[in-house]
Structure 1
Amino acid sequence: KHAVALAEVVDRVPDPTEHGHAWYRLQLKASRGFPGLHVGGSYLLHERFTDWTSPKLLDELRALDEEPAPCSLARLVTDPGRYRGTPPDVDVLHAPGLALGKQHGMTSSQLAAFDGVLRHTLQLVWGPPGTGKTWFLAMTVLSMLEASRQAGRPCRVVVTAFTHAAIDNLLRRIRKLQKERAVLQEKLAIGKCVRSEDPGAGIQAVPKNEAFPWLCTNERAVLGATVWRLLGTVPPGDASLTDLVVVDEASQVKVAEAALAVRRIRTGGRLVLAGDHRQLPPIVQGTYPDPEPGEPLLHRSIFEAVRAADPEGACSATLLENFRMCKELCRFPAETLYHPDYRPANDDIANQRLAFDATKTDDPFVARALDPSNPLVVVIIDGVRATAENVFEAELAGRLGLALREQAGLPDGDDGDRRFWSDHLFVVTPHHVQRRAVVRALQGGRDWQVPPFVDTVDKMQGQECAAVIVSYGVSDLELALREKEFIYSLERLNVAITRAQKKCVVFLPRPLLEPDLEAFADDDVAEGIAFMQRLPAAADDVIVVNPSITGAG
């Protein structure tokens, strides 16, 4: 086996002799098996990390500074109302575009957002969980293409996002909707800028060096690309020929990275920023102070930065109809995070219930926790002091998972297990050690042919299923305070509880609900604590368990 250590180069001193060597002073962070350095030993110093992106990004920002016109990015994040203009084609596209949206089933809030896209060069689309943001964006793109076709105008669309997965998801939805509804009355030109990967059936693989010629060749087309592939592929400004740039998951795209997309819109072209800043934010290395009053919010996402600069929401539209959650699960995020009118899209969604018969189990805890008439249940754990692994809580979560599998109506074997963990249950936990504890509890009661889907919330964003179990595990207050930005993340808890369609069971150790005052010193953490503390009051049922009193729970 090879022992590995991460080495930071602290200093480099060239060898004064003619050999051309150099002396390096290293600071090591070694793995457990690394024996340390010794005189006479041979070591391979391998380049572990290279920052390929920052120099390119800085060059792009400098180019923005040197342009004679006012900087579009600076205006966007400081005064979005001034950035927002009227497209020159609004008179010919607005009426037919809106008619297409109505014809193909946009909801009232979706139509309001689409109206903003048609009328303005900037539109933020706030899409809370389950509101069909991807469907809306796909229908927006297709309706824009068809309205442009009817007017005899070009319409070149660039779709970008933080991840390839988000880009692929939107491209697939555009293709699927076009196949089902034929919104665009001509062949859809849709491609993705790739190196060697396969973008999927029906989506053309466009090599990076051919992406811009491909856009030029197709008067009406959709090209998916990361911001980094746009750089050096599509020229900036009017030369880009881009009529519409859609940034999906814009709440995860950092401000500076968004500049690469914003700069590739022609004069009078449209920019759509779609996201939800109440879900997982972008990963930012380091800690940055909050900006001074009047200064832009540069260390967060482009979505959050533009919203912060538009406090009245003049440039924003919120999608309100929820196509995922029953009315009880929808109520809590509507009251605490989103909008009072955030609601199920129809009665069938509002009244959906978990398919579970509590009379068929002899476990009173399982019967109560999985009672279909109580969609949101909070289980408060008393009398347990655990760090990142809470075995008692994991066993309770395991009992719920096993009971749901027993009544899922699915066959034994690979296919049944796979469908169960895809459509019926997610188990969310913040720590990998608690994940292992829950998996052990599940595997102790069943011979699974497919591994249980128990993971962190990062793996769940954008997905949904019938039931969600949230197992925090941590009941040691010192650990919770050391990781307070993680444990008390409002965004993480919001993502976890809004994946469920019909049932959500949240396990909360008592100490998490009663932190010391020092935890409230950070405003973001305090907001997360308040969100967590309101959860029991909003629940349809609260179950308090204590192993010293209830035994097996």
Structure 2
Amino acid sequence: MKRKKITPSQLSLFSRSPVVGAWWNELRVQGLFKDKLPERNDLENQLLKDGIRHEELLIANLKKQGHRIAELGGKQTEIDYQSSIDAMAEGYDYIWQASLNNKEMRGAADLLEKIKGSSPFGNWTYQPIECKLSSKTKTTFLVQACCYCELLTPILGSKPNNFKLYLGGKNFKEFQTDKFWYWYLHLRERFRDFQNHFDPDKEPIDIPGDHGDWTAFIDERLAKSRDLMMVAKMRQTQRLKLKEAGINSIDDLALLKESSKVKGLRTEILNDLKQQAQLQVSPKGTDGRPNYLLKKIEKDKGLMLLTKPNEGDIWFDLEGIQDPVLGTQLEYLIGICFKEKDSLRTTYKSWWAHNALEEKKAFEGWVDWVEKRLEKYPNLKIYHYGSYEKSAIRRIAQQYSTKEAVIDKWLRSNLLVDLLPIVTSTIILGEDSYSIKKVEKLYMDKRDADVKTAGDSVVAYRIWANSGEPEIPGKSPTGSPRLQIIEDYNREDCESTERLQNWLINLKKAEGLTFESHEEEKEDELSQEIKPLESLSQKLLDELPEEYKTLKSKESNDETFWENKTGKRGLSFRAQLLLGHLLAFHHRENKIDWWNYFERKEIARLDSDELLEDSEVIEDAIWQKCEEKKSARTSAYYHSFKFNPEQQLKLYCDNNSRLTLEIASTNLRIDAVAIDNDNGEITLKYPKNKLEKRIEEGESEGIPKSSCTLIKRPVDISKPLRDRLEKQANSWIDGNKKLPAALSNFLECNSVKGLVDLNQKIYKNRTDIPKSLAEFLEKESGITLAIQGPPGTGKSSVTAKLVTELLKLDKNIAISSNSNQAINNLLIKTKIVCQDQDLKIEIIKATSNKKDQELSEKDILLLPPKSLTLKERVVGGTTWVFSREEMKKAFDFLIIDEAGQMSLANLLVMAQCAKTIILVGDQQQLSQPTKADHPGESGKSCLEYLIKDANVVPKDKGIFLNTSWRMEPSLTNIVSELFYDQKLIGCQSNKINSIKWGKPLSSKSEDSYPNKGIIFKKIEHYGCSVKSFEEINLIEQIIDSLLGGSFEYAQFDKNITGEIKAKHILVTAPYNVQVNLLEQRLKGKARVGTVDRFQGQEAPIAIHSLTASSGDNAPRGIDFLLEPNRLNVAISRAQCLSIIVGSPNLATGLINTVNEAEKVNRLCRLMMFD
């Protein structure tokens, strides 16, 4: 049978459901499908009609604008294919429904747009536009657009550089084709393989999920087969383990014997799932209500956490919609129910928003309303169902820098009460989920509203967005019936939440439980501290028009939006907005720590298993022993605990950082004195006087002699910076002092005069960069520029030489960075250069740590900041040093190393110390860690802000060090392609960089491994998360084959050769568990560490283990594992050969966002080097 040509829709389905949906679809394509698909529901039919109308309205609008449009039928005949080519040759502005084909694919492009370019037809070419009703970009749209780019390539002579999506709301989004091309090619090859090996007799196992047009069909089959996914709270990983044990249905699970065990499942989890299944399969009562089982009542869990009702209580629900292109979320409806005084019935109130400005106003209006009600009912609570509402209000407050202090107060006082965890820790419900729609069957009859689910609400809102109806709910013509339907649904959600609270209260009373008061956390100090800076921040923001306050981070990069917009302070609106946001940056970072802390405490009381993947919580710490240690001054008990070393923790304690932990069950706060994340061991110090005081107050010791949950307690390290920033900001805002010129130019993103010419001069003589730049800087003052140094370009050496050249010009230099190690490295390099040039300059590190042996050995003086005379020539120090008031104008230059990791707020507070600022780093390598969702551009690093979304610094903003002196040229080329717009070039003398293998990889293998460049070694494994023994085995084999071989590389006009030893091989992995296992296995055969540990280092050979089997297995997902900055650092450590070891299944998982597609695209490109 002749195979039919594939279509973009087939590839699109394969991208979202490669096993189930694609198989059934192929069965239908081959004419073998005998079943019947469920008919589309009314909503789906309406969406189809609206999609057609959406496209027709676009065409009508283009015609109104006077464009020539070729209207073709999109049929798949030879005549239609030729008609499409003829329309391109005639140069139509747009071609509607163009029929395209090649040897194996066919399709009809929604729209082709004529653009400037070169093609066989003349000085024009075409790019595809996909029209989609959805207001958000789905990755399936990207797949279809890439299909049309491929179909256009032979016709146009080259692949279109870009394509567009025309989305709901009349929004065009443009994308670079190359950002998705390798992912697309990999997907297409997988689909070819799928077709070649298709077996109509091998029906796949049904799994729940998104299967495109086949979803309803699969859901029906799952229901008929009584699949395990019918069990509420069943995870896919648990389902697979049960199936491996021969338990295939909800009925099998319900009938499981009491003594049964399942490999990989804890007994208590298995018992919970079995009870859940038993309740779901048991018949409902005569009243139709579902069955439920009351769980064992425990202190500080379930019903015990339900607070006493108050007549001022509020029941709250949000409706929202996401735009993943901008990475933003719009909460378009805030709804509440409450009771008027002495009323038995609830009243409903709503706040609507259809854009960012309205969202901010709606949120502020709602918060003000609640605050006013709190004055009347100070003990009220706001009840909601699920974590969405709490997360959303935190996001909105931070995103718009509004009402943050109020929300902070609410969260600290536990004003918001989530009923979902109370329900799940109180009862086992005989329903297939714990959504409020299922739970409410216990206390409510059927709903009246036409919209039944949150998903329906989102779809209904999208339909409204394209309907032309008014922006308020109500009857036509003054109101929108569609919005009224959504509001009715929201009102019923609020009413259901109120009835659920009443049901739980009655249940609590029936169990004879009393309402106990719960001690609230008191952290009033922080709330008081934030007022001055918040007030100053708000003062700056209030001077701006409202539309400028609601910009999302990516929207703010639209330069045309900001043109000629200047405020009364002489700052552009953009700079003033950023300045206003930055004043509260440290508060937001500090508050997010506290918010997360309170949330963790709440989760620990309800279901500590949910903290298993939290990097700042030890979820199951098991007590081991206690030792008393006495000294002359004090006595303390040292408690040792063990924990699972596979938990991905970010907990550290050393001489420079204090780690305070809280035992969740007893609220005891205690310091850690030692933690070994590798072996899962921690020691806590319990001062004897603290224990005695606790006992005197009638409390227990506070340390469970079994297992407990340890939660990191926040430490406020930014208070000195906030205090200093407050003084500076007061002088800028209420005083007559101007911002430092360099800072002002930086905030304005001003071009540096003469820098383009300097770049041209430098590119002609790369060896003279420091001297040329120093001469340029001597003539300029009050500027900020960047030196971007990709891997191996000698960034630190160039900077050290620049410092030396500036010293010769009698300048004083301050050197700072986020890390002390980076500061130390630059000081040491500067010292070496000064010595080489016989320049006798004292170099100082301003620090309170007098035990820095590395610096002392290099003859670098260590001084406390207070001891500085401010006449020193070179001083290194952190932000805490240069933000001190006495540092004002103390230096000519402030050089910030690793500026891609330095926050804008930290630059803001120390910019006062120098006339000129030089930002050194690479925003394409490791970025700054932030926790809060900062408004506008305030969460960016210094380099990210200056460079915007560019991969390479513009020539009017800085210097790009474009030659890698480290890597072999072919390796440089791939790094340049993936991360630097192909502007990074390899040093030609590095062509000799290569290795010779010590021995064949294996006696049975005839693999011929390259001796330079890059290798991607694919290795199949399944179910691996933070460790992969398959990859460890292969890496050990590779290293054994390398050791004893030889290397050669160029360095400073010399050829360095030698035998490959352990120090010549760097091995990195993304997870500490894999790093530890590699260290144990390799036993000193290589240098092993995380990517972060080896930034700035190099070796002839670098090996990177990706570890996880698939995106689903990867902790923190594909986003972390394939984060481009980390991947860049991992690959580029190598001078000769870079080896990546990983599972090919990392490229086959479900891709949910544009960002994930871009990351997998890079992986697919690297996988071509196998």
Q: TM-score, normalised by structure 2?
A: 0.37
**Contact 1:251–1:275 (Cα < 8 Å) also in 2:** yes
> Match for 1:377 among 996, 1006, 1015?
1015
Give the aligned partner of residue 43 of structure 1. Answer: 702
Give the equivalent residue in structure 2 for 1:75.
744
Task: Give how far 1:175 is off.
Answer: 0.8
The answer on whether the counterparts of 2:973 and 2:985 sit within 8 Å (CA) in structure 1 is yes
TM-superposed CA distance for 1:505, in Å, is 0.9
* Paired residue secondary structure (1:480): coil
Which of 974, 980, 985 is equivalent to 1:338? Answer: 980
What's 1:125 paired with?
787
Give the Å deviation of 1:312: 4.7
Task: Kindly indicate whether residue 842 of structure 2 is the aligned counterpart of residue 189 of structure 1.
Answer: yes
Alpha-carbon distance between aligned partners in 2 of 1:353 and 1:340, rounded to the nearest angstrom? 22
User: Which residue in the other structure is 1:207 paired with?
Assistant: 864
Q: State the match for 1:66 in structure 2.
A: 731
Note the 1:92-241 alignment, pairs <5 A: 107=767, 114=774, 117-120=777-780, 121-148=783-810, 155-182=811-838, 184=839, 187-195=840-848, 196-198=850-852, 199-200=855-856, 201-211=858-868, 213=869, 215-216=870-871, 218=872, 221-232=873-884, 234-236=886-888, 238=889, 240=890
State the alpha-carbon separation in 1 of the partners of residues 413 and 1034 from structure 2: 48
Other-structure match for 1:533: 1164
Query: Equivalents in 1 of 2:1164, 2:909: separation in Å?
Result: 41
Identity %: 20
Paired with 1:58 and 1:528, the residues of 2 have a C-alpha distance of: 40
Instruction: Give how far 1:258 is off.
Output: 1.3
Q: Secondary structure at the match of 1:325?
A: coil
What is the letter of the counterpart of residue 739 of structure 2?
Answer: C
Q: Distance in 2 between matches of 1:300 and 1:145?
A: 31
Does the aligned pair in 2 maintain the 1:159–1:245 contact within 8 Å? Answer: yes
CA distance in 2, matches of 1:113, 1:529: 39
Question: Is 1:32 equivalent to 2:621 in the alignment?
Answer: yes
* Structure 1 residues 360-412: Cα deviation after superposition (integer angstroms, max 9, x where no partner): 6644659634x31x421111223534222222122001111222234369xxx
In structure 2, the partner of 1:277 is 923
SS at match of 2:995: coil
Corresponding residue of 2:1008: 368
Cα gap change, 1:536 to 1:109, in 2 (>3 Å): farther
Query: Paired residue for 2:897?
Result: 248
- Whether the 8 Å contact between 1:480 and 1:512 is mirrored in structure 2 is no
In structure 1, give the amino acid aligned to 2:913. Answer: R
1:43-71 Cα offsets, whole Å, 9 max, x none, are 38999542021463364155235323443
Higher Rg of the two aligned structures: 2
2:847 corresponds to which letter in structure 1?
V
Report Cα offsets for 1:16-42 as digits up to 9, x if no partner: xxxxxxxxx965565432694499522
Is 1:397 aligned with 2:1035?
A: yes
Q: Distance in 2 between matches of 1:263 and 1:244?
A: 11
Equivalences for residues 412-491 of structure 1 within 5 A: 420-422=1061-1063, 424-442=1064-1082, 448=1083, 450=1084, 452-480=1086-1114, 482-491=1116-1125
Structure 1 residue 431, shift from structure 2 partner: 1.5
Q: CA distance change for structure 1 residues 404 and 283 in 2, over 3 Å: closer, same or farther?
A: same
Which 10-residue stretch deviates more, 321-330 or 106-115?
Answer: 106-115
Matched, 1:353 2:353: no
Change (3 A) 1:261 1:421: farther
SS state at 1:517 partner? coil
Q: Is the 8 A contact 1:113 1:317 kept in 2?
A: no
Query: Per-residue CA shift, 1:157-198, capped at 9, x if unaligned?
Result: 11111111111111110111111233x4xx212111021233
The question of whether the paired residues in 2 share the 8 Å contact of 1:57 and 1:257 is answered with no
The number of equivalent residue pairs is: 462
**Counterpart-to-counterpart distance in 1, 2:754 and 2:913:** 18
Counterpart of 1:249, as a letter, is E
Residue of structure 2 in register with 1:416 after alignment: none
Distance 1:81 1:156, change over 3 A: same
Q: Secondary structure at the match of 1:479?
A: coil
Report the AA paired with residue 32 of structure 1.
A
Q: Deviations over 1:230-260 (max 9, x none)?
A: 2326432x4x2x1111111111111111123
Q: Which residue of 1 aligns with 2:466?
A: none
1:250 is matched by which residue type in structure 2?
A
In structure 2, the CA distance between the partners of 1:288 and 1:52, relative to structure 1 (3 Å rule), is closer
Contact map agreement 1:325 1:350 (CA 8 A) in 2 = no
Give, in whole Å, the separation in 1 of the partners of 2:1006 and 2:1139. 11
Compared with structure 1, are the counterparts of its residues 339 and 319 closer, same or farther at alpha carbon in structure 2 (3 Å cutoff)? farther
CA 1:315–1:440: 2 relative to 1, 3 Å: same
Higher relative contact order (CA 8 A, sep 6+): 1
Residue identity in the other structure for 1:248: D
Shift of 1:354: 1.2
Q: What does residue range 308-347 of structure 1 map to in structure 2 within 5 Å? A: 308=948, 312-347=954-989
CA contact under 8 A between 1:125 and 1:317: conserved in structure 2?
yes
The Cα of 1:77 is off from its aligned counterpart by 4.7
TM superposition shift of 1:208: 1.4
- CA distance change for structure 1 residues 9 and 345 in 2, over 3 Å: closer, same or farther? farther
Give TM-score scaled by structure 1 length: 0.74
For residues 482-514 of structure 1, what are the alpha-carbon distances to aligned partners after superposition, in whole Å with 9 as ceiling and x for unaligned? 422211201111100000000111112112112
C-alpha spacing 1:50/1:383, structure 2 compared with 1 (3 Å)? closer
CA distance in 2, matches of 1:489, 1:243: 37
Query: Does the CA-based 8 Å contact 1:109-1:321 persist in structure 2?
Result: no
- In structure 2, what is the equivalent of residue 413 of structure 1? none
- Specify the SS of the correspondent of 1:251: helix
- Which amino acid is the alignment partner of residue 382 of structure 1? E
Contact persistence 1:386–1:475 (CA under 8 A): yes
Residue identity matched to 2:942 = I
Evaluate the alpha carbon distance shift between residue 330 and residue 111 of structure 1 in structure 2; reply closer, same or farther with a 3 A threshold.
farther
Pairwise CA RMSD: 3.7
Decide whether the 8 Å contact of 1:366 with 1:400 is kept in 2: no
Measured in 1, the distance between the counterparts of 2:1091 and 2:1117 equals: 16
Asked if residue 300 in structure 1 is aligned to residue 937 in structure 2, the reply is no
Instruction: Report the CA distance shift for 1:233/1:222 in structure 2 as closer, same or farther (over 3 A).
Output: farther
> Residues 245 and 485 of structure 1: is their aligned pair in 2 closer, same or farther, counting only changes over 3 Å?
same
